[in-house]
Amino acid sequence: MKNIFNETLESLENTLVESGFKAFSARQIFDWMYKKDIRDFYEMTNISKDLRAFLSSHYTFGNIDIFTKQYSSDGTRKYLFKLSDGHLIESVLMAHDYGKSLCITTQVGCNIGCSFCASGLLKKIRNLSVAEMVMQVLEVQKEAKVRVSHVVIMGTGEPFDNYDNVMKFIDVINSPYALEIGARHITISTSGIVPKIVQFSEESKQVNLAISLHAPTNELRSKLMKINDVYPLEALMKSVKQYVAKTNRRVTFEYILLQDINDSIEYADALSDLLRGLNCYVNLIRYNAVDEFSYEPTEEDSANRFYQRLLKRGIQATLRREMGADIDAACGQLRTKKTI
């Protein structure tokens, strides 16, 4: 039996038609699942009895359970979910003045192994299914009694290493018949898997793309992110330029400021040289300390100097307010400490 939350509207329509039912019933089914929160096919009273029986014999609603939750003083909530096979994953809900944003996880563990990131301490065990990603949104909405207005695909895992499921997940949360989260309110973040950036530029999705850059030279980036040995800056920037040319969309570069590692004025200059002329902005994030690593966060003054230098050299940038650091929910801090 399949979990019905794995279905996009289109795949459900196809299944229904192949099985002798009408395609439009998929919209009715989505309406029950996503708008009315019904978890029993026999309660879907506007679809035929035959279809209800078909659905019951082919699909389950599956579930992921909230194992623990932590609330930060700044309103951030971190959820540890237990999957049906016992693996644990995390999601983080952040309250912004523009809405509620959920950072979701795409894999159990991560193979990219960025040297500053706690999430990569657990090697990848498996990809999450579409349903396991969709249910992170549904369960958080239910627990926090909020509507998630923004989704950032930046939790544990490299989303482009689970490409097909992540694309379907985006289709589901963006669908007007499901969660209706606007494409421009969805951001996917990659460590820089070049062929997938090229593939992504061919998708007709209006979602935001963020690149975890963290260093403007190959020498430093390879020290921080092993992926740079496979896809060095020249290849990465070429693919990003292709993406911008193809989609006409602005790209975000994430840059975690690590004290005395990548936060000098020289690196700010190298970064602005690297990005000059590209439709982009830089999201500067002061590092959040992780027990296992010796990196320190850049002092506030130095972070400001770096930020001002980018602005002065014509690069749009923000110095982000970190959220949830007191519950280890900030960028790079997600990790499943608990095992069961």
CB of 124 to ligand SF4, least distance (A): 9
> How deeply is 50 buried, as exposed, middle or buried, from its count of CB atoms within 10 A (0-12, 13-18, 19+)?
exposed
CB atoms within 10 A of CB 293: 15
In the complex with ligand SF4, the residue whose CB is nearer, 62 or 120, is 120
Distance from C-alpha of 227 to C-alpha of 208, rounded to nearest angstrom = 21
Smallest gap from residue 158 Cβ to ligand SF4 (A):
5
As given in the structure block, the two tokens for residue 190 are 């990659």
Catalytic residue among 90, 132, 158, 254: 90
Instruction: Count other C-beta atoms under 10 Å from residue 246's C-beta.
Output: 13
Give the torsion through C-alpha atoms of 126, 132, 134, 140, to 10 deg.
-120
Select 8 or 212, whichever has its Cβ closest to ligand SF4.
Answer: 212
Closer by beta carbon to ligand SF4, 114 or else 327: 114
| Cβ-proximal residue to ligand SF4, closest one | 120
* Structural contact between residues 21 and 145, judged by C-beta atoms closer than 8 angstroms: no
Q: Is 142 within 8 Å of 150 (Cβ atoms)? A: no
DSSP conformation letters of 71-108: E-TTS-EEEEEE-TTS-EEEEEEEEETTEEEEE---EE
* 280 tagged catalytic: no
Q: How far is the CB of 119 from ligand SF4 (least distance, A)?
A: 4
For residues 320 and 202, what is the distance between their CA atoms, to the nearest angstrom? 30
Q: Which residues bind ligand SF4 (CB under 6 A)?
A: 110, 112-114, 117, 119-120, 156-158, 191, 212
Residue 161 DSSP label:
G
Q: Respond yes or no: is residue 7 known to be catalytic.
A: no
Q: Which residue, 105 or 298, has its beta carbon nearer to ligand SF4?
A: 105
Looking at the Cβ atoms of 16 and 153, the one nearer to ligand SF4 is 153
To the nearest whole angstrom, how small is the minimum distance from the Cβ of residue 61 to ligand SF4? 29
- Residue 288 Cβ, how far from ligand SF4 at the closest point, in Å? 12
Which residues are tagged catalytic? 90, 331
